[in-house]
Structure 1
Amino acid sequence: MASDVGDFSGSGNFNDVGRAKRRSRVAMVVAGVAFLLMLAAVTPSPYTIERPGPVVNTLGDVNIEGETMPVISIPDAETFPTSGALNLLTVSLVGSPEHPTSWLSLVPALFDPSQRIAPRTDFYPDGVTLKDREAQGTVQMQSSQAQATAAAFTALGQDVPVSLVIAAVSEDGPAAGVLREGDTLLRVDGAQIANFAALRAAIVDSGAEQDLLLTVSRDGVETEVTIRPEVPEGGTDPLIGAVIATQYDFPVDVDISLSDIGGPSAGMIFALGIVDQLTPGAMLDGIAVSGTGTVTDTGEVGPIGGLEQKIWAAARADSDLFLMPVANCGDVPARVPSDLQIAPVATLDEALAAIEATVAGDTVPGVEVCDAAATAAG
């Protein structure tokens, strides 16, 4: 009996040892998890996060280097009061070659439908730096502003003369030794060149390995030159091997002021903002319209990137209407904000009609336009 009592009196020590071992194992697990989290927080990933960026009301003001100025200003023309908001939508990228995302920073984006994780090479091909991308975006923004201005004046029935000027010549392309920087293209095969799209169509129609007669103005003198377009390696259409800049002669100057925003996707919204300022009456009548889409000088609305992120940005800006390119119909996500009216458009005129219908309280063709477009294409 005495020995039995002695055995039970030691059970507390056994329990203490077990608890100590369990605490040790838990501590080891916690330490391991903490180490893995620290490692994930500092280890670069090969991915970039695409998410909604700033929203800018193009009918409002912007602050640039401490100075407040209108986003769109037309100082030499009669302009009219506007109301409501005409929002330019942007996308922000997190993760560049110089500043890659960590593995841990990707986790929140996995649970946010407004964010997308994609390989960094989708945005920064091999050899392309953040500085390269920003420089390209600046050039695209400048071009989109010029095309938007041309589209707006054209929509208002005003003539916008166009000049196509050679900005650069490829050293080993068909135009080398034939065209010079500063040449102004006048005619192709004797026909007047209306715009860049017409020139491009003439080159494609001519085909590769066929002589193309170009009339250019060089130092004020008309000169005829012959070029044989070629299909570049990996390409499908013939090219002449020159960078062509489009220059417009606008009825009045239009100033667009933005900071740290690049790319071509604001073209349609810029054009709508110019039209609104130059026409009597408040086009929006107090509603909020957001949109995205490139625009040509003749008013065709083209595709953009980051559609899903811009849809969510439009919803968060309490937009009454979201305008998007028909060409992006295939990018409309299965899940969209339930209270957002989405209107796919193919031209600036269609965008204006969608705004007019929304203001009037009429039904605006929505994403069903995408089904009709797909059927027509098929």
Structure 2
Amino acid sequence: MGAPHILLVDDQKEVTRVLRSGLESLEHEFRITDVPSGEEAFLEIQPGSVDLLVSDVRLPGISGLDLMRRVKEANPNLKVILVSGVTEEKIRQEVAQAGADAFFFKPVELPDFLDAVERTLGLVEAMLPSEMDAERSAVAKAKTEGASLAERIADLRNQVKADCVLLFSESGQVLMSAGDIPSFEKDLMPHLLAATGSSIRISKLLQASTPDNLLSFSGGQLNLYLKPIGDMYGLVIAVQAQNAAGIAPIENATNETVSVLARMLESLGVPVKSSTYPPPQSRELSTGELDSELVEAIEKENKQRMDKVEVDAFWAALSTQSSSVGFDSGALSYDQALQLGLAPADEEG
């Protein structure tokens, strides 16, 4: 078997130069060709003539995705690695669904790229599923887990016997709902947004990769439960207070639903995490004057506590002394001690 033929397609000459140098540093022998466009690559590829296509997604003329689809029709066994300078999760999902064997964002991490080349061509044994296989599995799972976001939200409402479930955005817009929206929703939303934001900030300060908090608010008629989805969306679940079966069943059902909704949103190209989320708000402790009435009440309570401690200590010491040396005829009587303020007064009632 001859040396594997690798075709590099990128309109940036520096990129193909770096990739070629990396490939030539491996112990394997390759035949490497590079071209700047998809049209030239299409002309270069004959059935069985290329073993691995490495292409940029964005090319002048036809895109890397279109190039891959066209050459795969004629050569289904062709291996493909795509790269892109556009760091959007939607691109990764499109690449995975199109059938690429591996995918890299620019700047390409050369050791990872070379490892992917060896695994894709079968030059080394792959111990784990490829990243694209994992991505395709996640997308497929998101699609099969529910026909729509609305059905998932409706399922959660039925599962926890809620009056309604709301999906809202970071701007406070209700994107989707199941059940009757509470009449006070408009008044409540600013406070829900504030609570969600605080919850997310606390999670970030605690170095949590994903906010995973369920906030519970008990009311006279309704109990509300608030759950972030990433840091850009959230769920509100309203349950009649008398129907609430405790927070554990609601938390379990909500955690499962949020996980599915996050995958479904991302599979639709809607990110649930923001790279520029506002930093935690800082607030210094107030150094203004303390409430004089509060200070006076605290001091009064402390004085009463100390007076009682001193009186108790006096009688304890006197009791110890009396038991060790006998009754002292010159000792104070209880009435005398009471008059001198050394004994606690009897409390009425």
> If the TM-score is normalised by the length of the shorter chain, which range does it land in?
under 0.3
> RCO greater where, 1 or 2, for CA within 8 Å and sep 6 or more?
1
Bigger Rg over Cα: 2
